[in-house]
Structures are given as structure tokens and as C-alpha cells.
Amino acid sequence: MEENQKTNAFKKLLERLQEDSWQLELLISGFAIFGLFYALEPIRHKLYVASFDQNQAFVNLFVIVYFALQVLIFNLLLHVVSRGLWIGSLGLRYVFGEIDYDQLKYSELFTNYLKKKVGSFDDYIAKLENFCSIIFAVSFLLVFYIFSFFIVVFLLNAFNASIPDWALIPIRILFGIVAFGAILVVIDFFTQGSLKKGKRISKIYFPFYWFYSLLTLSFLYRPLIYNLLDNKLGRRVSFVLIPFYVLVYVVFNLNYQKSNFITLNSTQASNKNISSGRNYADVIDKDEDIFIGDFSIQSQVITEPFLKISVPINSRIEDSLIAFNPRLKPKKDKRGLYFKSQVTINNFGEDQDHLNEEYIKSFEEKYRFKIDGKTYENEFVITNFGTGFYFESYIGIKDLRDGKYLIEMQSRKSKGKDSYVSVLKVPFWYYGE
């Protein structure tokens, strides 16, 4: 008896909280929208940094997070507008009461149609209330969905890591099973649980469902999902929102084409006709969303008697050097995620110095720089600034006359052969002081 009283008291408490929840919803939505708009730019910058570093794991993470922020902003704005409409409707009902169709003096045809389609004002307010609550719940349920999606993507990408030859076949079989399970989970999600309904198919699907439930931590938010799906309105709202999310993605990624001849993509890399900001250090310093292309010089207009050349070290450059000089190939590829403690001790010694010398020498043999067809000998060092590592060198140009020049980066096709291909050409103007 005492237990029932406690249960009834708890239910009454929940009902009272439900009646006043709209105030908390609006408060949370307002603060969340404000914070989400401020979070878009840092996440976008992190995505650019990960793309520049060719860090696919973080690219996947920040793409998903960036899209999640866009969807959350859309959902919460929709919630705030809907709640505003609901509050306005309550105020209107207090002043004017129910809709009096007879007072409108429409024809019998329109009066009967409006009574059937529009219904009572109280029903309209009740539907608005339900819609607002569902939108608010779905907004934060999406956070868990996106988190789960990233875990699955990260797991599937993990199979692409370098693995020994003896493990290729079992790893591929395991990857196929995991990928098949992921497809089943996606189908079940978009069909709102269709794979859980049939007797035979549900037995096949259950092991995958159990595995991905643990993997994606869905046990934390599963009650919210099923409480949403067991209601007709909840299923409708969650299904109808999907095309709107696609629209949100399209709207946030719209661009305007300004010319029939020049496009954004065509100006990403410099050549004899294009001077991209990605190849000039002073432009890069002014805009944190611009990163060095294949190489950069200090400015488009040079007044110093030298050119400062910076070549970013990334996976593409390093792979080309390893292919050019097989002695650089490590026993184990150390590139990827790692843990960095607050205290670091440099104990590399002579072996690391020798490896760095071999690394730089291979770069100098593999790549060369020419100004208007004249080859310049370079001695490079490795430097780091910001979050990146770079090959850096200087070319003396005090003997050049004032005017426009073209510096070209070339790559040797193979070791021992004096055959080069052009990598990038960057225009600059020299006016010596």
C-alpha cells in the first residue's frame, strides 16, 4: 500500500512537471541556440585543420559534428517558433475563447469543411503542445544518434589501417560482417523497427542489434526512442523531419558562382595565370581558414633579396619520399592518433638525427625549385609552427630584375633518373629595394 502511494505521488509529481516543462524547454532552447551558433565557426576551423593534416579520423568526426550542430540549430529554432505560436494561441484563447464558425456566416459548404479540417481551437492548441514537446525531445535525441553514427564510422575506418598479410582474410571477413550489421541497423532505423517485427528476420537481426546497442551506447537513450515510436504522432514527426535535415545540409552548403570562367575550385591552386592565397604566407597569416598548398613563399610581392619556401609535411609528401627511398620505410607506421602527456622528454639521440638527415636528403633529391626555368640549389631544414611540420629553405634572388616571375616546384619521377614532372607553379613580383 505504501509503495502504491509512493508510486502515485511520483506520478503526480511527473504530471506537474510536465505542465510546467515548456518554460524549461524555452530556456534551454534559447541558451543552446546561442551556444551552437558560436560553436559552428570553431568546428569548421577544426575541420579545415584536419583536412589540411590529412587526418581522416578527425575529418569524419568534425564533418559529423558540424552537420549535427546545423540540424540542432534547425530543430531548436523550429521549437522556439512553435512554442511562441503555442503561447500566442493560449493568449488568443483567453481573450476570444473557442472558434465560433456560425459567427463567420460562411456558406454551409465552407462551414462544414472548416469544422472538419480546422476543428476546435482547443484541439489546435493540444496538437501544438504535442508537436513542441516531440521536437524538443528529438533535438537532443539527435545528439546521441550522431554520436552513435560516428562510433560506427570510426570502427569501419579502423579496418582500413595497415594490417599484416596473414590477417587480411579474417579481417576482411570480420569487416564484411560488421558492415552488413551496420546496413541492417540503418535499414531498421529508417523503417522505424521493421526488422524487429518478423519472427525469422528478427532472430537474424537480434545479434547485430545487441552488438550495435552496446557499441553505440544506445541503452542510454533507448527508452526515449521507443516512447517516441509507440505513438503515431511521434513516428510521423520523426519521419517528416528527415527531408528537412537534407534541406538544412543543402542550405548551409550553398555557394554563389560569380563567373562563367573562374570557379572556387579552379583558384585553389596557383599556376601561371592564378595566384592562390594558399601559396603566400602573409595571406595565410591573415586568414586562419587558409592553409598552405603544395608550398608557399612569403608574399605575392617580394621586396627582400630572398624567397622563403615552406613545404608542408603530410601523408602524401611522406609516402612519395618512402616510395622514392625505400630505406625510409619504417617497420611500423606510427602515423595516426597518439596520446600526449603534459610532460615530454626528448631522448631521441643520434639515431633520430641520422633519420632526419636521411629524410631531408631524400626530399632534396626528390624535389627541386626553378624560377623562370632556372634551377636553384636548396638546403632544407625541418621546422614546426602552429600544428604543422614543414620543410623550409631560402633562395637568394637579389640578382633578379624587377618584374613578374614564376617559381615552380618539380618532382623527380624515380631515383637515379633526371626526369621531373611539375607539381605547382606560383607567380610572384620582385621589386628590390
On the 0-12 / 13-18 / 19+ scale of CB atoms within 10 A, 363 is: buried
391-423: pLDDT as tens digits: 999 988 888 899 999 999 999 887 777 788 988
What is the rounded distance in angstroms from the CA atom of residue 292 to the CA atom of residue 308?
A: 13
Q: Decide: pTM greater than 0.85.
A: no
Domains of the chain: which residue ranges?
Answer: 12-158+221-252, 273-332+350-430
User: How many of the other CB atoms lie within 10 Å of CB of 167?
Assistant: 10
Lowest mean pLDDT among 80-94, 220-234, 406-420: 220-234
What is the rounded distance in angstroms from the CA atom of residue 204 to the CA atom of residue 166?
A: 30
CATH 2.60.40.10 fits 273-332+350-430, yes or no: yes
Say which residues have a Cβ less than 8 Å from residue 71's Cβ, sequence separation at least 6. Answer: 142, 245, 248
pLDDT in the model for residue 5: 46
What is the rounded distance in angstroms from the CA atom of residue 411 to the CA atom of residue 417?
A: 11
The mean pLDDT value of the chain amounts to 77
What is the rounded distance in angstroms from the CA atom of residue 392 to the CA atom of residue 382?
A: 6
What is the rounded distance in angstroms from the CA atom of residue 258 to the CA atom of residue 253?
A: 16
pLDDT in the model for residue 345: 44
The confidence band for 343, taking pLDDT boundaries of 50, 70 and 90, is very low
147-164: pLDDT as tens digits: 777 777 666 666 555 555
